[in-house]
Amino acid sequence: MHIRLQAVGDRQPSWVDAAFDGYAQRLPRQWQFRFDSISTAQRNKGVAPEVAKSAEGMKILAKIKPAEFVIVLDERGKQYSSKELAGLLDEWQTVGQDLVFVIGGPDGVSADCLQRANLRWSLSKLTLPHGLARVLFAEQLYRAWSLTTGHPYHRE
């Protein structure tokens, strides 16, 4: 199983990069975790946000392989507990499913990306800044791995 995160937004505060990298480096090597930054489309006054969202969506979809299982992080998606997420990751790992997680841009994810998604995952009912969503994603991925391997990171 290989795991990638595609996230729109090429400039994040240093604390986001430091926290994200800290968790990403802890992920198991066999996942071959990779982060792909997608540049944010320019937004202009008088132009509908859908235009930029569509351009970002095309960039995202161009990097997704047909056999990959796509999970879009979306506030309208299904929420999972850490244990439930660990169970899903364990299932995907058992079948050797390659995963691509997607975090959209300032206006969300295009309809085409949502249509391609195999699953929509909501990190929270709260609206989160994209940088914080990246960090929370990486932490929960690491926590899920720790649950499936018996690592003491997760405590009840």
Domain assignment present for 131: yes
CA–CA dist 82, 143 (Å, integer): 7
pLDDT along the chain (156 residues), means of 10: 94 94 96 95 85 95 96 95 96 95 94 97 91 96 95 80
Residue 32: inside a domain: yes
- Helix 130-149 to helix 14-24 angle (10° resolution) is 20
Name the residue range of residue 127's domain.
3-149
Contacts of 107 by beta carbon, 8 Å cutoff, 6+ apart: 49, 50, 52, 53
Residue at 155 is within a domain: no
Q: What is the pTM of this model?
A: 0.94
29 DSSP 8-state letter:
G
pLDDT of residue 70: 98
Q: Is residue 69 part of a domain?
A: yes
Judge whether 142 lies within some domain: yes
Number of structural domains, the chain?
A: 1
Predicted local confidence at residue 47, as pLDDT: 78
CATH of the domain at 70: 3.40.1280.10
Query: E-strand spans in 30-135?
Result: 34-38, 69-78, 99-103, 119-121
Residue 42 to residue 19: CA distance in whole angstroms: 27
pLDDT attached to residue 151: 85
Please report whether residue 86 resides in a domain. Answer: yes
Residue 49 confidence (pLDDT): 85
When computed from its CA atoms, the radius of gyration of the chain, rounded to whole angstroms, is 15
In a domain, 45, yes or no: yes
Looking at the domain assignment, is residue 30 inside a domain?
yes
Residue-level pLDDT at 102: 98
Q: Tell me how far apart the alpha carbons of residues 129 and 143 are, in angstroms, rounded to a whole number.
A: 21
Residue 101's nearest CA partner among 147, 148, 9, 35 is 35
